[in-house]
Amino acid sequence: MNTYQHFMIVDDDHMNNFICNITLKNTYKNSQVTSFEKPVEALAYITSSYPRNDIEKTTLLLDINMPVLNGWEFLEELKQMNLAVVDQFNIYILSSSVDQRDMDKAKNDPYVIDFISKPLKKEKLIELFGSAE
């Protein structure tokens, strides 16, 4: 049984990844955070590393607006993977988008749990995942 939370951030914005890392580690001291600035590298990592036996679930924080492969395209690629892999992810869109269509698309996608507005805040983490205690 895992004694920590595992988070994966996929966002092409280096500064956002840095802020997310700090916020997650300050909120959940025993958390493991893996971040990717290139969605293609994240997919390669998932393909080679999942399913995992050492964790129950990975919380994926996925940006929408990225070059080469946007968040929606990334999500479609992930959905094509083995069900044992897909089932290990709790997926949240983490975006600065204010486009209602993006929010509706996230809300209507059965694989996406919620839409989180950037920047990631400790209060939002506690609201979603509870306190670290």
CATH number reported for the structural domain that contains residue 89 in this entry: 3.40.50.2300
**Domain extent for 48:** 6-129
What pTM does this model have?
0.93
Considering the domain boundaries, does residue 27 fall inside one?
Answer: yes
- Structural domain count of the chain: 1
Considering the domain boundaries, does residue 1 fall inside one?
Answer: no
The per-residue pLDDT for range 26-51, each reduced to its tens digit, is 999 989 999 999 999 999 999 999 99
Q: Which residues contact 80 (CB under 8 A, 6 or more apart)?
A: none
Considering the domain boundaries, does residue 62 fall inside one?
Answer: yes
Considering the domain boundaries, does residue 81 fall inside one?
Answer: yes
The per-residue pLDDT for range 103-115, each reduced to its tens digit, is 999 999 999 999 9
